[in-house]
Amino acid sequence: MPTGLRSIFRPIATMGSRKISARHAIAAAATTACLAVLPVAVPTAAHAAGGSCWGGPTVKDYAGRVFASRTCPTWTEALVMDDRWPTSPAIGRLFAANNWMVCQAVGRDNPQLGGGRNTYWVYTQGDVSYSDKNGWGWVPATAFTYGGDWQPIPGVPLCAAGFNG
């Protein structure tokens, strides 16, 4: 073997109790450099959709209507509103937890909770009721753990056209 090549195979560093050659050190450095410039996969709202909500119970609202529901995490306590706008009367309160939801629909701008912005409102029953609707009403999408600004909550179906709660 020529003298110049021998130096490439001579150990130049140790890794734990193992000695590594210049060839291995160069290969490791090249691999690290390549990995450093590769794009990193970041989950999007579409990726979160599968894990954001899951099957919930069958529920009956104040008017006797029966719905399938989805269970979704909310990150903050929120008022349950009589309609899909923030100045509507508060008819209940929903605590931060894994809560079941019936459907969602577009309304007026949500109150800004934690900086989020949205126009989707979700039909559910609050944990505390302030009205004869037994806490049934609309919660702003900004109270939910998943979902992006101006986007529906992944995993919650849209309400039927004309449904107002």
In this predicted structure, which of 19-23, 35-39, 88-92, 123-127 has the lowest mean pLDDT? 35-39
Residue 160 forms part of a structural domain: no
151 in Cβ contact with 45 (< 8 Å): yes
- The first and second tokens of residue 92, run together, are 């209940």
pLDDT, position 87: 93
Residue 71 forms part of a structural domain: yes
Question: Residue 69: which of 10, 118, 12, 139 has the closest Cα?
Answer: 139
Task: List, for residues 50-101, the tens digit of each pLDDT value.
Answer: 458 999 999 999 999 999 999 999 999 999 999 999 899 999 999 999 999 9
pLDDT, position 51: 55
- Shared domain for 30 and 98, answered yes or no, is no
Q: Binning pLDDT at 50, 70 and 90, where does residue 112 land?
A: confident
Residue 165 forms part of a structural domain: no
| Residue that has been written with the tokens 């929903």 in this structure | 94
Task: List, for residues 115-149, the tens digit of each pLDDT value.
Answer: 889 999 999 999 999 999 999 999 999 999 998 99
Q: How many domains does the chain have?
A: 2
- Shared domain for 86 and 114, answered yes or no, is yes
Is the pLDDT at 14 greater than 80? The verdict is no
- The one-letter amino acid at 66: V
Q: Enumerate residues 6+ apart whose C-beta is below 8 A from 20.
A: 11, 12, 13, 14, 28
Q: Residue 80's CB: how many other CB atoms inside 10 A?
A: 28
Cα angle, residue 30 at apex, residues 24 and 33 outer, rounded to 5°: 140
Residue 153 forms part of a structural domain: no
151 in Cβ contact with 52 (< 8 Å): no
Note if the pTM is more than 0.75: no
Question: Residue 96: which of 79, 83, 117, 119 has the closest Cα?
Answer: 79
User: Listing from the earlier edge strand, what are the strands of the sheet with 54-60?
Assistant: 54-60, 66-73, 98-101
- The first and second tokens of residue 133, run together, are 């609707």
Q: Binning pLDDT at 50, 70 and 90, where does residue 2 land?
A: low
- Shared domain for 86 and 12, answered yes or no, is no
Say how far apart CA 12 and CA 20 lie, in whole Å: 6
Query: Whole domain around residue 123: which residue ranges?
Result: 50-143
- Shared domain for 31 and 57, answered yes or no, is no
Top-confidence residue, 122 or 46: 122
- Shared domain for 30 and 95, answered yes or no, is no
